[in-house]
Chain A
């Protein structure tokens, strides 16, 4: 996938808006950065990985996570006070899930951290709903033809996160060791664990 995206012009517009807001006294200098820093400090794919590791080691938690994702991740201290809803979709032997936002760039930021450039690219957004098998193969994920692929296109306040399959041979690993195996792309669905 191409990593191209047009961040530069957007960045210029945002900086200009921020300057105007500061000049007009709507926000104090640095206030926007402080809010963003505070939010992003806690936003990382390590959060999603912790949720996955818990679901892999605790059947009851897994069931709660798949029934009501928002409530289940709040048990672990994530998405507190968020107005968004989380829907976790589980990969199985027969089905693979992958997430996208075709209209813009909706993403479970608190659990996955800032989204990668390709997630926001027109190429990914337009192609993954049309030919997910080819797109996943380009990410290095070759799925058997018998595996049904479901693409979750987020357009409202629900955010989606993939619960990957637990790899074989990991029975002896601790929850922390399991969490360390889970990558950001596995939480998006463009990789397996």
Chain B
């Protein structure tokens, strides 16, 4: 099965604040970044941490965020490991932003 998000894809993280364990840190919720690479498939920790015996297995991606998209300022980047279900592909208008950033 091909990965849903090839390297270079502009993605956005989900914004909601789940009432349980999640590996999506608060600082990166609802933010857009660019996929660096797939890291391999792993059980979704948000489910397995709740004792679920049948946690879905998903691709995990390294996603690169510009500091100003996370904090509104800064010139560095942060790369975070994120499960596929944390991510959605961005609309076309964001593609231009991704290109500008590079």
Contact = CB atoms under 8 A, between A and B. Distances in A.
A156 B81 contact: yes
Contacts of A132: 76
Interface residues of B, number: 23
A102 B77 contact: no
Kindly state the interface size class of chain A when it binds its partner. 20 to 34
A131 B39 CA distance: 26
Contacts of B81: 153-156, 158
Interface string A97-141: 000001100000000000000000000000001111100000000
Given A102-B27, A103-B25, A153 B79 contact: yes
A185 B79 CA distance: 19
Nearest to B24: A155
A23 interface: no
Contacts, number: 62
A155 B82 contact: yes
A158 B39 contact: yes
B40 A129 contact: no
A153 B39 contact: no
A155 B25 contact: yes
A157 B78 contact: no
Interface string A60-98: 000000000000000000000000010100000000000
A157 B23 CA distance: 12
A150 interface: yes
A156 B23 contact: yes
A149 interface: yes
A156 B83 CA distance: 9
Interface of A: 85, 87, 102-103, 129-133, 148-158
Interface of B: 23, 25, 27, 39-40, 42, 45, 60, 62, 64, 67, 70-71, 74-83
